[in-house]
A and B are shown apart, each in its own frame.
Chain A
């Protein structure tokens, strides 16, 4: 079965960077994309960025373009998402999700989700 397993809880200071990993299994990694969605405490879902498992192409929401970097390791079916310049408002649960579009980011639904990674930004 499809599984997305994310790395564990992170606590960071303002200005730092955080890297969250997402290891996929149970499907052909190169046939899908991976999208990152975050959820601040008590808030809704926010689409952040996407990476193709096929060719590593990426796209990001405008508000994250300057701060997010993603890489895909096809040998281990793992995606890494780095968020730089953390501020308190970045405190959230970060989810990776399988995106059925492997060519263009943001133009498809998300059919399987990781368990989420809590990132807390605090001085």
Chain B
């Protein structure tokens, strides 16, 4: 079983600043990683797949990078609507999600 570890658990950021979220896998997953955003009371929304490809309609301020075991989601110039919980998901093997990073207003 591949374990996904996200850090930090909570990230406090001021609007307009950059947020950098980390996701680490317990073994190499190539680029088979997706990122999702979930706001309170809403369903998750796909942001990124193949580690760095933005999903349809996702603003350019969201970017993903990494391969192997280390991955990063970067949100440049945080907007008010970006404060949410972010999950990574590997799909290289039996799928699993990280535990999430909550991005909150500083």
Which A residues have a C-beta under 8 Å from some C-beta of B? 37, 44-47, 61, 95, 97, 106-116
A69 and B56 CA atoms in complex are apart in Å by 32
The 3 A-B pairs with the shortest beta carbon distances in the complex, nearest first, are A109-B34, A113-B43, A109-B49
Residues of chain B touching chain A, judged by Cβ–Cβ distance below 8 Å, are 32, 34, 36, 38, 43-46, 49, 55-56, 87, 89, 91-100
**Complex alpha-carbon distance, A115 and B41, angstroms:** 10
Once A109-B34, A115-B43, A116-B43 are accepted as A-B contacts, the answer to whether A44 and B49 lie under 8 Å apart by CB is no
| Cross-chain contact B94 with A109 (CB below 8 angstroms) | no
Pick the most buried of A37, A97, A109: most chain B CB atoms within 10 A of its CB. Answer: A109
- Quick one: closest B residue to A96, CB to CB? B43
Who on chain A is nearest to B35 by CB? A109
The answer to whether B91 touches A109, judged by C-beta atoms less than 8 angstroms apart, is yes
What are 12 A-B contacts defined by CB distance under 8 Å? A44-B98, A45-B38, A45-B44, A47-B89, A47-B95, A97-B44, A106-B93, A106-B95, A109-B46, A109-B91, A110-B46, A110-B89
The DSSP consensus for interface residues of chain B is: loop
What is the CB-to-nearest-CB distance from B58 to chain A, in angstroms, rounded to a whole number? Answer: 11
- CB neighbours (8 Å) of B44 from chain A are 37, 45, 95, 97, 110, 113
Chain A residue numbers with a CB within 8 Å of B99 are 44
* Residue of A45, A112, A116 touching B97 (CB-CB under 8 A): A45
Chain B nearest Cβ from A53, distance in angstroms: 18
Across-interface contacts of A108 in B (CB, < 8 A): 91
Complex: chain A residue closest to B34, CB-CB: A109
Q: Is the CB of B98 within 8 A of A109?
A: no
Q: How far is the CA of A111 from the CA of B54 in the complex (A)?
A: 11
Contacts of B91 in A (CB 8 A): 106-109
Contact A114 B43 (CB under 8 A): yes
